[in-house]
Amino acid sequence: MPQHLDGLRAATVALARYADRAGLGAPVPTTPDWTVRRLLAHQGMVHRWATRILRGEPAAPDAFGAEGLAAPDPVEWLREGAVDLAAALHEAPDDLDVVVFLADAPAPVCFWARRQCHETTVHAVDALSAVLGRLPRAADIEIGDELALDGIDELLCGFLTRPRSRLRAEEPMTIEVRPDGSGRTWRVEVGPGPAVTRCGPPDGVDDRRRAGADVVLRGTPVALYLSLWNRSDEVDVSQGWRDASAITWD
């Protein structure tokens, strides 16, 4: 958990810094329907929602969203929520029994630390896109390889294997994700039902037919992290992937 708390803090600082630079009214290229103010309201809402779950309190996220949109200083409102979330994670017992919502989820405290770390990191990338006026690339942002690999794992093993995932195909196919220099690979088996993801070391076979993968995605860990989370076009993923793998709040 310590690495995820560190990641949460770093991402909150980055999000606040980029939001200040871009301005509250700036459009967000990675989430085209949002402005920076809307982005801050969303992230602050999610932090407060997660804090209430960790503390066993009633969670009504919509109320927090309205609060964020009306906040006189949305950046400071974001910071306050992140500080409270970090405190709730520190205070939570190791055997905390609260809801989790991903397949292959770790214990609840670790789950919520990991989820909020990547939630905030991805939205810090959104704020950076508002500064740049375009989709960012790996060289534009400071994200470590280990955090990126962990976020790829959460997406491929946790989100895309859920029954509600839209990553489906009438004809079975396999997508293999191979981050450069990582010693890791993920093989996502896509068919009419929920995807199945298997992870392990690369098999060292480049020939797609012999490796059994219909699509092989390669790149640095950070480039893959951004592209698979639909925040960059540095790695060429299909529009079908972008539509089917999009994570939405509802």
| pLDDT tens, residue by residue, 99-131 | 999 988 899 999 999 999 999 999 999 999 999
| Inter-residue contact 179 to 143 (CB < 8 Å) | no
CA separation for the pair 151, 144 (Å, rounded) = 11
Eight-class DSSP state of 154: I
CA separation for the pair 238, 6 (Å, rounded) = 33
With CA atoms as reference, report the closest residue to 247 among 234, 227, 230: 230
- Domain residue spans in the chain? 2-136, 148-245
Phi, psi for residue 189 in degrees, rounded to 5: -95, 115
- Is the pTM for the entire model greater than 0.75? yes
Share above pLDDT 70 across residues of the chain, in percent, rounded to a whole number: 90
Two tokens at 157? 């093993």
Length of the chain, in residues: 250
CA separation for the pair 228, 245 (Å, rounded) = 8
With CA atoms as reference, report the closest residue to 48 among 65, 34, 35, 31: 65
Show the beta-strand stretches assigned E in 16-170.
none
pLDDT in tens, 157-188: 999 999 988 888 888 999 999 999 999 999 99
How many C-beta atoms lie closer than 10 Å to residue 166's C-beta? Answer: 12
| Inter-residue contact 86 to 120 (CB < 8 Å) | no
Element (H, E) at 77: helix 74-91
* pLDDT band, very low/low/confident/very high, at 209 (cuts 50, 70, 90): very low
Two tokens at 133? 């006026």
Query: Considering the domain 2-136 in this protein, what is its CATH number?
Result: 1.20.120.450
Fold of 148-245: Nonspecific Lipid-transfer Protein; Chain A (3.30.1050)
| Inter-residue contact 217 to 235 (CB < 8 Å) | yes
| Inter-residue contact 177 to 224 (CB < 8 Å) | yes
* pLDDT band, very low/low/confident/very high, at 202 (cuts 50, 70, 90): low
- Helix 74-91 / helix 61-70 crossing angle, nearest 10 deg: 140
CA separation for the pair 108, 90 (Å, rounded) = 13
CA separation for the pair 75, 12 (Å, rounded) = 10
Quote the pLDDT of residue 206: 45
With CA atoms as reference, report the closest residue to 150 among 104, 81, 89: 104
